[in-house]
A and B are shown apart, each in its own frame.
Chain A
Amino acid sequence: MNPSDILQLDRVVHERVRLAIMSMLAASPDLSFTEVRDALDLTDGNLMSHVRTLQEAGYLAVTKAYQEARPLTTLALTKAGREAFAAHIARLAAIVQHARPA
């Protein structure tokens, strides 16, 4: 295994819940806050804190709107977020690849 692969893992993306949020959003252009919360079995506060971390890193865009007078919060990965996610997957794949016997 190449030690540099581990050192290069993005701490923002690598955390379990944030990686799960980014995985869901990577497969869909956008998802509502409640869809992500229910799918990952999180509380509003827990999801919000991870959303904030991802937003501060520039990986996540949050849109607030109204649907029939009810608030609708939508989450989507930014371009930087998609790149960070792709890079993270490439590093995980590299770790698996390096561990294989030649």
Chain B
Amino acid sequence: MNERDARADLEAIRVLMERSALYRRTLAPTCLGLGALGLAAGAAHRFLPLETATAFALCWLATAVLGVGIAFWTSRRQAVREREAFWSPPARRVAESIAPPLAAGFLLSVPFLLGEDWARRVVWLLPALWMVLYGCALHAAGFFMHRGIRLLGWLYIAGGSGLLLWWTCPLNQFPPVAHAHLAMAIGFGLVHLAYGAYLVATERSRRA
């Protein structure tokens, strides 16, 4: 073996080691499911009395729990169908990387569940905070997934920060709870649907 072959072998080993550590489940069904759920939850405030801070936080925390269930179910179904382990090392790494920001998002919501008067006045903070933290979770998971997830993470971080800046701008009045529902429906419903559709299209063209 000459030096050039040894160098090529080392490079191939590096690439394969990197690739095997990546989470490779198809995310399109999960994103489409999360998008539909987000839009349904956003539409719910038109039909249900969800105008208090407690109702807002409860509605979207319940949606988040359902969303985790959808993600769990779709990835498990895929793993079983493809005869792969569901709780694989890459899946564990992804779960560990998204857990801290998601836990922070949940803990920050707890005071809003208590129904205090101040919570109603600042409930509009929640969508922005949730978007930033969700973006951080996606960005952290992106180190063990394809690169697009990190970009999506940045999109949420920018969107959440922009929303926070917009709503805290002295020229604007603090928005009503209905606007917070709308921000959530767009941020977690439409964005997931759009990303899911993009993944379906790119995965189809890759297979063709």
Residues in A lying within 8 Å of B, measured CB to CB: 1, 6, 9, 19-20, 23-35, 39, 67-68, 70-74, 89, 92-93, 95-96, 98-99
Q: Could you say which of A6, A31, A68 contacts B20, with CB atoms under 8 Å apart?
A: A31
Complex contact A32–B7 (CB within 8 A): no
The reply on B89 being an interface residue by CB < 8 A is yes
The dominant DSSP class at the B interface is helix
User: What residues of chain A lie closer than 8 Å to B6, measured between beta carbons?
Assistant: 92-93, 95-96, 99
The dominant DSSP class at the A interface is helix
A95 to B5, CA, bound (A): 9
Complex contact B20–A25 (CB within 8 A): yes
Complex contact A68–B80 (CB within 8 A): yes
Residues in B lying within 8 Å of A, measured CB to CB: 1-3, 6-7, 9-10, 12-13, 16-21, 24, 79-80, 82-86, 88-90
Find the B residue at minimum CB distance from A26. B17
Complex contact A72–B1 (CB within 8 A): no
A32 to B24, CA, bound (A): 13
Complex contact A1–B3 (CB within 8 A): yes
User: What residues of chain A lie closer than 8 Å to B83, measured between beta carbons?
Assistant: 32-34, 67, 70-73
Q: Could you say which of A27, A29, A96 contacts B10, with CB atoms under 8 Å apart?
A: A96
Complex contact B90–A28 (CB within 8 A): yes
A75 to B155, CA, bound (A): 38
User: What residues of chain A lie closer than 8 Å to B84, measured between beta carbons?
Assistant: 32, 34-35, 72
